[in-house]
Amino acid sequence: MRVLLVEDEERLAETIRDGLSEHGVTADIEHDGREGLFRAKVGSYDVIVLDIMLPGLNGYQICRKLREAEIWTPILMLTAKDGEWDEAEALDTGADDYLSKPFSFVVLLARLRALARRPSVERPVVLQVGDLVFDVASSAVRRGETAIDLTRTEMQVLEVLMRGGDTPVSKQQIYDRVWGFDADVDPKIVEVYMRYLRRKIDEPFDVSTIKNQRGVGYRIVAA
């Protein structure tokens, strides 16, 4: 079995690699999100293990980009139990399983073996709120029968909103997920993009579906 491990805590990564190799599992390590994404795309792995908080790109972003690129290798997410990220979200982005840190090595090994046995499942992601439909895999957005042309960043913001469901997503959460954790961009960019989105997905259709709850966050509702 061959595993890609994207984990920025170097000692933890090395400990896992050494442990796995004792059980006949070869693990390649990347410490940076962008490098990890690249390696995941070009390499051939039985399972990809993604930490969530990573420099460059976070685990959710890597997972989403891999599924968008139609790479269906099983993905195990390592989630921290700090309440900031939840497991349901890991599965939403196209991950197959998750493991909360700290985890025991025996459990990790068992999960990896189970995932490696499982055939890769295609799971194209289509999000829908009312008549607004976003096919994430093909980057196609439409309201009713009308196709809407969005930029890549607008799509990322829309995806965060649509995945949020009824729960408002805070400005900070949107910022973190779209612009990354170490982005050098003014957080006010979130408001700017909400205006762009409203201009494209609401105003032409004479609806108002992006709701802003002051001090809480944004959510998108059915028209």
Q: Which is nearer to Ca ion, 79 or 156 (CB)?
A: 79
Q: Which is nearer to Ca ion, 11 or 214 (CB)?
A: 11
As measured in angstroms, the least distance from the Cβ of 9 to Ca ion is: 6
Among the listed residues 40, 41, 46, the one whose alpha carbon sits nearest the alpha carbon of residue 20:
46
Displacement of CA 30 from its chain's centroid (Å): 18
123, 94 in Cβ contact below 8 A?
yes
Q: Which is nearer to Ca ion, 3 or 54 (CB)?
A: 54
| Residues forming the site for Ca ion (CB under 5 A) | 8, 51, 53
Q: Which is nearer to Ca ion, 53 or 158 (CB)?
A: 53
Residue partners of 43: CB distance under 8 A and separation at least 6: 4, 28
Residue partners of 30: CB distance under 8 A and separation at least 6: 4, 5, 6, 36, 39
217, 170 in Cβ contact below 8 A?
yes
Nearest residue to Ca ion on Cβ basis: 53
As measured in angstroms, the least distance from the Cβ of 52 to Ca ion is: 7
As measured in angstroms, the least distance from the Cβ of 54 to Ca ion is: 5
As measured in angstroms, the least distance from the Cβ of 22 to Ca ion is: 24
